Amino acid sequence: MALKIACGQLEIIAGRPDLNTKKMIQVISLARKESVDILLFPELAVPGSMIGDLWEQSAFLKDCETFGQQIIAATEGITVIFGNVATDWKRTNQDGHVRKYSAAFTAQGGRLVPTEQGLDFVAKSFLPAYREFDDPRYFSGQDRLLKDKRISLKNGLGSVAVKIRGTEYKLGILLCEDGWTENYPFSVPAMLKQGGAELLCNLSSSPFTLHKNQKRHEVFGHQAKTLQLPLIYCNHTGIQNTGKNIFTFDGQSCVYGPDGMVKAAAPMFEEKLLVFSWDKGSAKIRAYAAEDELIATEDDETAILYKVIQYGTRLFLKQTGIKRMVIGASGGIDSAVTAALFTDILGPNQVLLVNMPSRYNSELTKNLAQQLAENLGCCYTIVPINDSVSHTVEQLYTPIHNYTTNRDFKVELDGLMYENIQARDRGSRILAGFSAAFKGGISCNANKAEATVGYGTFYGDLIGLFCPLGDLWKYQIYALGKYINEYVYKRKAIPETIFTIRPSAELSQEQTVGNGGDPLVYEYHDYLLRSFIENWEKASPAEILRHYIDEDLENFLGCKAGIVSSIFPSHAAFCQDLERWYGLFTGLAVAKRIQAPPILSLSRRAFGTDFREAQLTTYYSMEYKEMKEKLLVQERLF
């Protein structure tokens, strides 16, 4: 006899158990009408997963319990497995807070179904404390629960046995991280199999990371094949945040057969009731809808990135109630892609582009900014800043009186200070003013390379509600711009010249699109800086220098061959450049990143909660100093 099973891939709203529960009960009713036997919901589907220290509020925890009871009461004629927080009000942890678990509850016929060990729920075993995850701060693990109940693990983890039409089925229930077995002391899926499980059910709350889905198919498919058990992966959609980072949840719920292959799958970023059948005797799995049998292949990386950015940004604006956006339009690629993105989401009438030229801005970039606005159909205005910047400079030369010496003095402004005055005038005065008057949020147009080295100004171009491109390197933004033209607008909405001009902040005579652009050579520095951040074993200056000496640095970084020798005429120049950017990355740029707007997380390591850092002084290892000294001595000798 085949069972009809469904994954309720819903958009979960963090911190709103009332709304999530209402939706879950509606889906239970729908599934019952479709004769579904077992319905799965994701991990922490009731409260959401990223809610900060709201986990420490008893009133919230009690409400989650109440909403959980409502879900249990709604299970007449159906078996439902759902994620919620389980609270042990009789026990506290070392921090004095009540003990909590990320838990999976099984309900049938209006009642809880206990595990074979007599527990009311299955607790998450492995609590991730890396990247954005901080589960041990709030939750205890399955080992703690079993120890409290004096239950041994020697016979494996207990299954949950449910009877459906007279036949018993043993469900091996696990939660998210429990399925990622590579770096843990034991395998939860294997222990569930040892305990008699016939079907593995992984309830997840798993945010999107570029290329993560491919890795999940490898790991989970291997588990299903090795254990010869079908494995259900139930994830949710929506966005959640940790304050500094906005995370998208891509869904992509699916079921793996005992052969390790995906048999049915839900689409990316769409709410979906994924329904399939499982025959216990034959182990056959079949999707009910033909479209669910079509397993989505990985799109082009740029196509995926745009889909994620568009989805995450749209939901973030909806969540914050922002219906209009104000964007500083420079005529460069970052602001152009940002403008095209928000126009695609909000419509052209809701987007205001502001060009704020100084005497250093070329006619070329001013014209490109206007052409961009015309192509997109946005609102557009030009506000020159020469007079206001001059007035600010004049005011800064106002005499300052020192009451200790009883003398007056004046400050001196250098070129960098003058550049920063321009940036602050644009951001804190003009864009902030238009934000209030236009009733829209300000977009921060920064990219990841700029954030890495602090190439931005406090209270200037680092202001904003949100930084949608903050986890993208410059080369990815260029690719995104071309994708937008070809596939989103299907025309040259972003002017072609924007892709070919040299990037420049245009803040001084030495820094223009004609005379000299940005100090970063993105074709090289994007990849160098990426190695400091996104490599799981973060690259150090010593490692970079070692690869340089071994003449395989380009291969290590992934940049194009020959670029290193084309940029650096000597070993000394290479070391000077390396120390310049590493020093900025670990220096003032840290303070700038701390104060920068939240970003949309896309990569395997995004600045913010995903990349913990402290304000320290720059440190170079002894290995680096020794290699550098030896290299430079050899260069001087030869």
* Partners of 174 in beta bridges: 202
Residue 144: Cβ within 10 Å count: 18
Sheet containing 160-164, strands listed edge to edge, beginning at the edge strand earlier in sequence: 160-164, 167-175, 199-203, 231-234, 254-256, 262-265
Say if residue 296's pLDDT is above 60: no
Instruction: Tell me the DSSP string of 368-403.
Output: HHHHHHHHHT-EEEE---HHHHHHHHHHHTS-EEET
Which of 346, 309, 354 minimizes the C-alpha distance to 467?
A: 309
User: Among all chains, which residue has been given the structure tokens 């220098």?
Assistant: 545
Which of 103, 55, 46 minimizes the C-alpha distance to 74?
A: 46
Which of 627, 619, 598 minimizes the C-alpha distance to 610?
A: 598
Identify the pLDDT of residue 453: 97
Residue 88: Cβ within 10 Å count: 15
DSSP code at position 468: T
Say if residue 151's pLDDT is above 90: no
Identify the pLDDT of residue 157: 79
- State both tokens at 47: 């409260």
Helix (H) or strand (E) holding 638: none
Task: Domain ranges for the chain, please list them.
Answer: 2-291, 302-519, 521-638
What is the mean pLDDT of the segment spanning 264-283? 94
Identify the pLDDT of residue 391: 96
- State both tokens at 263: 């048999």
Pairwise pLDDT comparison (387 vs 505), residue with the higher score: 387
Q: What is the residue-averaged pLDDT of the chain? A: 94
Say if residue 514's pLDDT is above 70: no
Cα 174 to Cα 154: distance, rounded to the nearest angstrom: 18
Say if residue 282's pLDDT is above 90: no
428-467 per-position pLDDT tens digit: 999 999 999 999 999 999 999 999 999 999 999 999 999 9
Cα 162 to Cα 194: distance, rounded to the nearest angstrom: 18
What is the mean pLDDT of the segment spanning 103-114? 98
Residue 450: Cβ within 10 Å count: 25
Say if residue 509's pLDDT is above 90: no
Q: Is the Cβ–Cβ distance between 108 and 71 less than 8 Å?
A: no
14-67 per-position pLDDT tens digit: 999 999 999 999 999 999 999 999 999 999 999 999 999 999 999 999 999 999
What is the mean pLDDT of the segment spanning 241-247? 97
Select, from the ranges 132-141, 467-476, 513-522, the one with the highest average predicted confidence (pLDDT).
Answer: 467-476
**Is the CATH number of domain 2-291 3.10.50.40?**
no
Say if residue 295's pLDDT is above 70: no
Q: What is the pTM of this model?
A: 0.94
Q: Are strands 379-382 and 351-355 parallel, antiparallel or unpaired?
A: parallel
What is the mean pLDDT of the segment spanning 474-491? 98
Query: What are the b/e assignments for 564-599, b being 16+ CB within 10 Å?
Result: beeebeebeebbebbeebbbbbbbebbebbeebbbb
- State both tokens at 627: 């290699």
CA atoms within 13 A on the CB side of 477: 29
User: What is the CATH code of the structural domain delimited by 302-519?
Assistant: 3.40.50.620
Report the range of poorest mean pLDDT among 1-5, 102-106, 520-524, 539-543: 1-5
Report the range of poorest mean pLDDT among 44-58, 223-237, 270-284, 288-302: 288-302
* Partners of 86 in beta bridges: 101
Identify the pLDDT of residue 559: 96
* Partners of 100 in beta bridges: 87
Share of the chain above pLDDT 70, in %: 97
DSSP code at position 441: E
With cut-offs at 50, 70 and 90, classify the pLDDT of residue 298.
Answer: low
CA angle 145, 147, 148 (to 5 degrees): 65
Q: Where are the beta strands (DSSP E) in 15-113?
A: 38-40, 79-92, 98-108, 111-112
Identify the pLDDT of residue 143: 87
580-630 per-position pLDDT tens digit: 999 999 999 999 999 999 999 999 999 999 999 999 999 999 999 999 999
Instruction: Tell me the DSSP string of 249-295.
Output: EEB--EEE-TTS-EEEEPPBT--EEEEEEEETTT--EEESSGGGGSP
What is the mean pLDDT of the segment spanning 548-553? 97
Identify the pLDDT of residue 517: 73
169-185 per-position pLDDT tens digit: 999 999 999 999 888 88
CA angle 177, 183, 186 (to 5 degrees): 80
What is the mean pLDDT of the segment spanning 537-547? 97
